[in-house]
Amino acid sequence: MPPYDKSDRDTRPIRTKRSSCWSRYAPVGLILIGTLTTWVLGGLAMLRYPGLPYNLRELMESSVPGVTLGILGLCLLITGATPLLLAWLWDRRPGEFTWIGPLDAISIAALIYSLLRTAVPYESISDIIGSPVLKLPAELENLGRFVGLYLGILMGLTIGTRLTIGNAPRRRDLAGLLSMSVMAAFSYTIVVGYACTDNIVELLRDGGSWLSAGAVLAFVALLGLVAGALSLATIRAAEGHWRPLAGAIVLLLISIPVGWLLLCAATNPSLTKYGRTFAAREFLFSPDREHPLGERAIFLRFAIAELSTMALLSVGMLVGRLMVRAREAPPSRIRPQPTRTRPQPREGMPAAPPRRIHYALLSALYAGFAIYGSLVPLQFRAVPLDQAWERFRQIPYLQLSIESRSDWVANILLFVPLGFLLAGVHRVDRPGGRYRDLAAAAWIVPGCALLSIAIEFTQIWFPPRTVSQNDVAAEVIGAMAGVGIWSLAGRRATMIAREYLGTSSSGRKLDLILKIYLVGLLIYSVLPLDLTLSPADLWRKYRDGKMLLFTIGGTNPLQSAYVILATTATFVPVGLLVASLFTPLPTRFGNLVRSLTIGAALAALIEIAQILVYSRVSNGADLLWGALGVSLGVACMRPETTPNAARQRTWPDRPWVWLCLTLGYAGVLAAIFWFPFEFTAQKGLVLERLAGMARVPYSALYRGSDWNAMTQITRKVLWFIPLGSLMARGIALVSSRSPAHRRVWIVSGLLACLTLAVTIEVGQTLLPEKVADLTDILLYQSGATLGLMMTLSLLDLRAKSEGGGSPPF
């Protein structure tokens, strides 16, 4: 054995760790991007072919065909991946599959319907599922009919895919087969038994008999079998085993004539429609009604359609297989790395908040807020119940323009937190991965849909509110998005909240606050998500002055100063975060260049993203103000206050200094909210405006758009957070000398903030251009209280770390 030194040998124990998220899921992302790009380009080329069937052309044509084709391709990929995941669950956990499988299938069907509803003309969907005839809201009935149709397709694909996964069918798989049978009966009842149109029934042999339905099911199962075999063979070929790929290709070739025979057995051989008699397959594959094709041309088109469908389904199943393999991949051997251990609760002790009870309380409070906000300004008008129900049955589906899309997106955002919180109620601190998180959507989404329908129905008695199917659809999408966000980041968000509430380091808590602020800033910068890729919309935005190269803004110097101050102040917390995350450079010039570069890069990223948001204004001047704000934040965070440096007292310990700063900032707030200082002395007008302050809370915000209301609430809260922070620093210094009076000082500070808020709003009654409202006082006080409490918490932790103890509360 060759000689070696002890330092050359690592005697630490080997631990295991799964590969990184990027290495596991990067192939999935690349496959999805490549497939969707190929699909869109091929679809755009196919639209130029004059012999394309007219029903398919109507489905894909729109003002932005590329986006429509992309959404259709995404729907097909989801339709391919879902049966694979369901079949995997059927093989691994057949007991859970019997009840989770149908619920997940219904959730996916609702998701597909929502995607199609945004990309496909309503007439094309009605041609398939028919027009609503029941005494229900039209959108709700259409959703139910589409779910019934899609469940049959998904069930057939799952049965076929199950034959390519895991072990051979076993006795315990009978429960899953029974569940599939129930889904088949439900789908047949909706599509054939309760059909409101003959668009599908007339195409089936004998008016949709059980035999024709069985042939359709066998055809769909054949698609699932071949697509599953192709996806499995592709993975085996990548591993160096080519024989399964050859077998899959042979199976693919055999499936074409078998599928043709099943199609002929399922469809009507003689159909009289539009004054002509032809076979159902001629109606499906001919270019139009006047030019039917022969059997050979129809068979060729059928083969192309089947191969294209199998290709896209197999890619979706390939993505599903890669996700399953990444989940079940054996851990890799790596050397241990130093990690920070979090304190674990003792055995028998409850987990740290937030727990299920906290999520339930937050869900109830937020649901109450959503209901209240949907009924403001609470102008009740009596309507008989039968008339209200008749009006509710006839609520319209509005065709929204690009200018109105922001309000529709605001309705989506309204229910995202509710779906997230309800998912937390169901899944926090419970075992299981993302699959079980998504399964929670089976009861969360219908519950949110019922709440949305109840709100829309109640709005009939509050006439200022607009009742439409768009709101219900948007809020259902928001609930689904909330559940999806919980699946991706819910547990991480819970851990961050627990770390914030349980940490004993003021630096760590400040880091968490600043990181949350940065995430909030990035999200707010692209709201209200009325995205557009249309060149016409982008040109209209540029023509309307919403894409500026370098403009300070404002009609006078004071307004320009306000714009600069507001934009710069927005990026100051980002500078604080940069100073805490990066090690200071040796020279001040190097720190300045780095902070300017980071600020300009972040501002540039935000402005580029805002170009695609129709309602936002993109201004190149924000790069300068963003870089300036980050630099100021870095300068304010001295090395002593960074989390990795020794704690030293760097602020003046005289309370009057902070009192002067607080008074100065209060003057700045008064100047901001009283500008342009055009006061009036008309007694009657002032008294009328004083009486108007007692209006229903948040009713004044209803006069504008939903997005404007969200913006006003955010800005007014954020402006008063620094006021509470400055006051908290002075309170901490005073209470350190007289700890017994700490509560008195805190209450006095809150009352001082309230006095300032009331003074500002009362002063606005003398300004005819301003709206004095009780709601603004509540928002101001909320911001000041939040800033005061957060700052006191940080100062208390800092006092503990320095050994001075924590002042009593």
What does the pLDDT look like over 375-429, one tens digit per residue? 887 888 888 888 888 888 777 766 666 656 667 777 888 889 999 999 998 888 8
**Residue 581 burial (CB count, 10 A):** 13
Per-residue model confidence (pLDDT) at position 418: 92
Give the model's confidence band at 327: pLDDT under 50 very low, under 70 low, under 90 confident, else very high. low
Is residue 11 a part of any domain in this protein? no
Q: What distance in Å separates the CA atoms of residue 493 and residue 790, rounded to the nearest whole number? A: 18
State how far Cα 212 lies from the chain centre: 41
Q: How far is CA 149 from the centre of its chain?
A: 27
**pLDDT at position 343, please?**
46
Please tell me the predicted confidence (pLDDT) of residue 755: 92
- Give 485-496 pLDDT, tens digit per residue: 888 888 888 888
Higher pLDDT among residues 168 and 475, named by residue: 475
Q: Which of 9-23, 117-131, 418-432, 479-493 has the lowest average pLDDT?
A: 9-23
Same-domain status, 602 and 663: no
Q: How far apart are CA 619 and CA 549, in angstroms?
A: 6
* Residue 271 phi, psi dihedral angles, 5° rounding: -130, 125
Question: Is the pLDDT confidence value at 115 over 50?
Answer: yes
Residue 619 pLDDT? 84
Better-predicted residue by pLDDT, 59 or 456 = 456
pLDDT at residue 265 is higher than 70: yes
Burial class (CB in 10 A: 0-12, 13-18, 19+), 75: buried
> Cβ neighbours of residue 567 under 8 Å, at least 6 residues apart?
622, 625, 626, 629
- 316 with 187, same domain: the answer is yes
Q: Is residue 14 part of a domain?
A: no
Give the total number of structural domains in the chain. 4
Structure tokens at 379: 């102008």
Q: Do 383 and 444 belong to one domain?
A: yes
For residue 94, being part of any structural domain is answered with: yes
In the listed set 608, 632, 650, which residue is the last one of a domain according to the structure?
650
Query: Could you give the percent of the chain with pLDDT greater than 90?
Result: 4
Q: Are 101 and 89 in contact (CB under 8 A)?
A: yes
pLDDT classification of 706: cutoffs 50, 70, 90: low
**Residue 642 sits in the same domain as residue 696:** no
Mean pLDDT of the chain: 78
Q: Which of 650, 671, 701 is the last residue of a domain?
A: 650
| pLDDT tier, 181 (very low <50, low <70, confident <90, very high otherwise) | confident
Provide the b/e sequence for 688-711 (b: ≥16 CB within 10 Å). ebeeebebbbbbbbbeebbbbbbb
Domain that holds residue 807: 655-809
- Tell me if 191 sits within 8 A of 147, measured CB to CB: no
Residue 510 lies in a domain: no
pLDDT 10s digits, 498-532: 888 877 777 788 888 888 888 888 888 887 777 77
Mean pLDDT of 716-740: 83
Nearest Cα neighbor of 505 from 362, 681, 340, 709 is 340
- 542 and 410 within one domain: no
In a domain, 6, yes or no: no
Q: Three-state SS for 278?
A: strand
- Got the DSSP string for 155-201? HHHHHHHHTTSSSPP-GGGHHHHHHHHHHHHHHHIIIIIT-S-STTG
Amino acid 5: pLDDT: 39
CA–CA distance, 211 with 121 (Å, rounded to integer): 32
Identify the CA nearest to 259 among candidates 292, 324, 228, 305.
Answer: 305
Residue with tokens 């055809």, as numbered in its chain: 219
Confidence band of 370 (pLDDT split at 50, 70, 90): confident
- For residues 493 and 392, membership in a common domain is answered with yes
Q: Report which of 115, 123, 132 is spatially closest to residue 57, judged by C-alpha positions.
A: 123
Contact call for residues 481 and 419 (beta carbons, < 8 A): yes
Summarised one tens digit per residue, pLDDT across range 79-91 is 888 888 888 888 8
Per-residue model confidence (pLDDT) at position 38:
81
Residues 634 and 679 in one domain: no
Instruction: Quickly state the pLDDT bin for 165 (edges 50, 70, 90).
Output: confident
CB atoms within 10 A of CB 305: 15
Question: 761 versus 122: which is more confidently predicted?
Answer: 761
pLDDT of residue 167: 61
> How high is the pLDDT of residue 355?
86
How far is 221 from 232, CA to CA, in rounded Å? 16
Supply the pLDDT for residue 805. 45
**CA atoms within 13 A of residue 137's CA, in its CB half-sphere:** 23
C-alpha–C-alpha distance, residues 675 and 670, integer Å: 8
Whether the predicted pLDDT of 1 surpasses 60: no
* Residue 9 scores a pLDDT above 80: no
At residue 751, the pLDDT reads 92
pLDDT exceeds cutoff 50 at 175: yes
Q: What is the pLDDT of residue 785?
A: 92
The predicted model gives 287-296 an average pLDDT of 74
Same domain, 29 and 62: yes
276 part of a folded domain: yes
Residue, of 719 and 397, whose pLDDT is higher = 719
Contact of 407 with 707, CB cutoff 8 Å: yes
Query: Which residues fall within 8 angstroms of residue 183, CB to CB, at 6 or more apart?
Result: 102, 105, 151, 152, 155
* Distant-in-sequence, close-in-space partners of 87: CB < 8 Å, separation ≥ 6: 158, 161, 162, 164, 165, 228
Q: Say if residue 44 is in the same domain as residue 88.
A: yes
- 423: part of which helix (H) or strand (E)? helix 405-427
Q: How many residues does the chain have?
A: 809
In angstroms, the first-to-last Cα distance of the chain is 68
Region 35-54: mean pLDDT is: 75
- Nearest-angstrom CA–CA distance, 5 and 738: 62
Going by pLDDT thresholds of 50, 70 and 90, the confidence category of residue 578 is: confident
Q: What is the pTM of this model?
A: 0.62
Q: What pLDDT does residue 338 have?
A: 45
Residue 255, classified by CB atoms within 10 Å of its CB into exposed (0-12), middle (13-18) or buried (19+), is buried
Quick check: is 512 in a domain? no
Bigger pLDDT: 481 vs 193: 481
Beta-carbon contacts of residue 42 (< 8 Å; ≥ 6 apart): none
- Claim to verify: residue 447 and residue 476 sit in the same structural domain: yes
The whole-number pLDDT of residue 439 equals 73
pLDDT band for position 807 (50/70/90)?
very low
Residue 281 lies in a domain: yes
pLDDT at 371 over 60: yes
E strand or H helix at 17: strand 15-17
Output 196 or 574, whichever has higher pLDDT: 574
Residue (of 255, 306, 268, 313) closest to 77 by Cα position:
313
- For residues 424 and 491, give the distance between their C-alpha atoms in angstroms, rounded to a whole number: 8
Angle among Cα 17, 19, 25 to the nearest 5 degrees reads 150
pLDDT band for 806, please (50, 70, 90 cuts): very low
Each residue's pLDDT tens digit, 632-686: 888 877 554 444 444 444 455 677 788 888 899 999 898 888 887 788 878 888 8
pLDDT of 347 over the 60 cut: no
Residue range 780-785: mean pLDDT, rounded: 92
642 with 659, same domain: the answer is no
CB atoms within 10 A of CB 280: 20
Average pLDDT over residues 578-597: 81
Same domain? For 55 and 164 the reply is yes
Q: In this structure, are residues 567 and 575 in contact, taking their beta carbons and an 8 Å threshold?
A: no
Rounded Cα distance, 221 and 218, in Å: 5
Q: Binning pLDDT at 50, 70 and 90, where does residue 809 land?
A: very low
DSSP code, position 271? E
> Residue 764, CB half-sphere, CA atoms under 13 Å: how many?
23
Say yes or no to pLDDT of 712 above 60: yes
* pLDDT reading at 231 higher than 50: yes
> Looking at 332, 361, 385, which one is the last position of a domain?
332
pLDDT value of residue 697: 78
**Cβ atoms 335, 407 nearer than 8 A:** no
Surface-to-core class of residue 400, CB atoms within 10 Å of its CB (0-12 exposed, 13-18 middle, 19+ buried): middle
